[in-house]
C-alpha cells in the first residue's frame, strides 16, 4: 500500500449498504467488503452467518488522509447505522451484523472515542450509543459477488436497503432538524418555496443556470455537497443540469405525479428538501439529467473550498487542470 494511504475499518451491519457512502468520496482509493473481529481464518459468508465465528460483516477503506480526514469517515459512518442497536442492524439480526469501529493505531482510537462521545452528548438519540471501538484484527475480503454489490445489482440493492429499514432510519434520524420558523428566517421566500413546498423557480431567471465557474454545489440548508461544476452542462432547459451527483447516497428519488405528469423527484436525505427532477435524456452513458433548482443550491467556488470546509473536493479540480 502506498505510504500516503491509510486504512479504516467499520462494521455497520450488512456490508452491501456500507460501500456506496464511502466509495463516492474524493480521497477514497478502495472499499472492500469482508469479515473481521472473529476467531476463524478465511471465513465464508455462510460460516459467518451462523453467528458462531465471532466475525462482523465490515468494510475496509483505503483512503488518502490529505484529501479526506479520518474524522470525515467517522461522520459518514455514524450516518449509515443505528448506533443504539446491540443485536444487529435493522432487519438483520445476530452477531455478524453488530456495529463496531475497528481502529488502526492510537490516533484513530482517540478520534473514534471522541466522535462517539460527541454523538452521545448530542442528544440525537435518547438511548445509549452501543457501537464499540475495537482494535483492528485480520480482515478477510468477502466473496467477489459481494464486492460493490450496489453497482452489480442496483435494483435488488435499493430494494433491500429500503426494505430492511435502513433507508427510513437514515431519513428519520439524520435529516435536518431546523424548524419551519427557523428556515423561513434563514431562507428567502423563493428558496423556502422550492425546498420545503416542492416549488419550481423560473427557467433562465435563476442564479446558476448558466454558471461557468468551477466549484461545487451544496444543499443550501444542510451544507451537504451535492454536485460539481465538472458535471454541469447546458441542457437548454434554463435550469442548472448535471450528468451525475457528487454523492448519490445523499439523494433520494421519488415518483412525482403532480401537475398531471409522471416525473422522478430528487430530494436530499439530510435536509429532506426538494431539489428538482431527474430525467433520462442526458448526454452520459446512463442518460441521466439532474435538472435542479438554483434556489435549493449554494455554489462554493474552487478557490474557497478549503476555507469553507470542503477541502476534500479540491483534488477534483486539480485532476483536470
Report pLDDT digits (tens) over 30-64.
999 999 999 999 999 999 999 999 999 999 999 99
Q: What average pLDDT score do residues 148-159 get?
A: 85
Q: Which of 277, 10, 17 is nearest to 156 (CA)?
A: 17
Length of the chain measured in residues: 321
The pLDDT assigned to 40 comes to: 97
* pLDDT confidence tier of residue 256, bands split at 50, 70 and 90: confident
Query: Residue 201: is its pLDDT beyond 80?
Result: yes
Q: What is the 3-state secondary structure (H, E, C) of the chain?
A: CCCCCEEEEEEECCHHHHCHHHHCCCCEEEEEEEEECCCCCCCCHHHHCCCCCCCEEEEEEEECCCCCCHHHHHHHHHCCCCCCCCCEECCEECHHHCEEEEECCHHHHHHHHHHHHHHHHHCCCCCCCCCEEEECCCEEECCHHHCCHHHHCHHHHHHHHHHCCHHHHHHHHHCCCCCHHHHHHHCCHHHHHHHHHCCCCCCCCCCCCCCCCCEEEEECCCCCEEEEHHHEECCCCCCCEECCCCCHHHEEEEEECHHHCCEEEEEECCCCCEEEEEECCCCCCCCCEEEECHHHEEEEEHHHCCCCCCHHHHHHHHCCC
pLDDT tier, 140 (very low <50, low <70, confident <90, very high otherwise):
very high
pLDDT score for 67: 86
pLDDT of residue 250: 83
Tell me what the pLDDT averaged over the chain comes to: 92
Active-site residue, 237 included? no
Rounded mean pLDDT of 126-147? 97
Return the higher-pLDDT residue of 250 and 240.
Answer: 240
Higher pLDDT, 145 or 25: 145
State the catalytic residue, choosing from 8, 9, 12, 14: 14
89 has a pLDDT exceeding 70: yes
What CA–CA distances, in Å, run from 35 to 24, 28, 76, 141, 269?
22, 20, 20, 6, 29
Residue 249: predicted pLDDT: 78
Looking at the chain, the whole-number percentage of residues with pLDDT higher than 70 is 97
Over range 95-112, report the average pLDDT. 97
CA distance 180 to 192: 9
Kindly name the residue from 291, 292, 296, 305 that is annotated as catalytic: 291
Stretch 220-245: mean pLDDT: 95
How far is it, in rounded angstroms, from Cα 16 to Cα 150?
Answer: 7
Please state the rounded mean pLDDT for residues 137-161: 91
**Is the predicted pLDDT of residue 104 greater than 70, yes or no?**
yes
Q: Averaged over 162-186, what is the pLDDT?
A: 83
pLDDT number for residue 213: 96
Query: Tens digits of per-residue pLDDT, 258-291?
Result: 878 888 999 998 888 999 999 999 998 889 999 9
What is the pTM (predicted TM-score) of this model? 0.68
pLDDT at 158 > cutoff 80: no
To the query of whether residue 14 is one of the catalytic residues in this protein, the response is yes
Contacts of 262 (CB under 8 A, 6+ apart): 255, 256
Q: What are the structural domains of the chain?
A: 6-174 (3.30.1060.10), 180-318 (2.170.150.20)
Q: Is the pLDDT of residue 1 over 60?
A: no
Q: What is the pLDDT of residues 3-16, one digit of tens each?
A: 689 999 999 999 99
Paired residues of 57 in beta bridges: 35
Q: Taking residues 132-139, report their average pLDDT.
A: 98
Give the pLDDT mean for 137-163.
Answer: 90
> Which pLDDT belongs to residue 3?
64
- Kindly tell me if the per-residue pLDDT of 237 is higher than 90: yes
Position 320 confidence tier, pLDDT thresholds 50, 70, 90: low
| Banded model confidence at residue 128, pLDDT cuts 50, 70, 90 | very high
- Chain-centroid distance of CA 226 in Å reads 10
Compare 228 and 312 and report the one with higher pLDDT. Answer: 228
Amino acid at each position: 500500500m502506498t505510504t500516503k494511504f491509510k486504512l479504516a475499518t467499520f462494521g455497520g451491519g450488512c456490508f452491501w449498504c456500507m460501500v456506496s457512502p464511502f466509495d463516492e468520496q474524493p480521497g477514497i482509493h478502495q472499499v472492500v467488503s469482508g469479515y473481521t473481529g472473529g476467531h476463524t481464518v478465511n471465513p465464508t459468508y455462510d460460516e459467518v452467518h451462523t453467528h458462531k465465528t465471532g466475525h462482523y460483516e465490515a468494510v475496509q477503506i483505503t483512503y488518502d488522509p490529505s484529501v479526506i480526514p479520518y474524522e470525515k469517515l467517522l461522520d459518514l459512518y455514524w450516518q449509515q447505522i443505528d448506533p443504539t442497536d446491540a443485536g444487529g442492524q435493522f432487519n438483520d439480526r445476530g452477531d455478524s451484523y453488530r456495529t463496531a469501529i475497528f481502529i488502526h493505531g492510537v490516533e484513530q482510537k482517540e478520534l473514534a472515542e471522541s466522535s462517539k462521545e460527541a454523538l452521545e452528548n448530542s442528544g440525537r438519540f435518547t438511548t445509549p450509543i452501543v457501537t464499540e471501538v475495537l482494535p483492528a484484527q485480520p480482515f478477510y475480503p468477502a466473496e467477489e459477488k459481494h464486492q460493490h454489490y450496489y453497482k452489480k445489482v442496483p435494483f435488488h440493492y435499493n430494494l433491500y436497503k429500503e426494505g430492511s429499514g435502513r433507508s427510513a432510519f437514515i431519513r428519520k434520524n439524520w435529516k435536518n432538524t431546523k424548524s419551519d420558523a427557523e428556515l423561513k428566517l434563514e431562507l428567502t421566500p423563493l428558496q423556502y418555496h422550492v425546498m420545503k413546498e416542492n416549488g419550481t423557480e423560473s427557467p433562465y431567471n435563476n442564479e446558476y443556470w448558466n454558471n461557468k465557474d468551477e466549484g461545487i454545489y451544496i444543499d443550501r440548508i444542510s451544507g451537504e455537497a451535492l454536485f460539481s461544476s465538472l458535471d454541469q452542462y447546458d441542457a437548454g432547459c434554463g435550469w442548472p443540469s448535471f450528468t451525475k451527483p457528487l454523492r448519490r447516497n445523499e439523494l433520494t428519488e421519488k415518483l412525482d405525479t403532480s401537475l398531471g405528469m409522471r416525473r422522478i423527484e430528487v430530494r436530499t436525505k439530510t435536509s429532506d428538501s426538494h431539489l428538482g427532477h431527474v430525467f433520462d435524456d442526458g448526454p452520459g452513458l446512463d442518460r441521466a439529467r439532474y435538472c435542479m433548482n438554483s434556489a435549493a443550491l449554494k455554489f462554493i467556488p474552487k478557490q474557497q473550498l478549503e476555507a469553507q470546509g470542503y477541502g476534500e473536493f479540491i483534488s477534483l479540480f486539480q485532476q483536470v487542470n
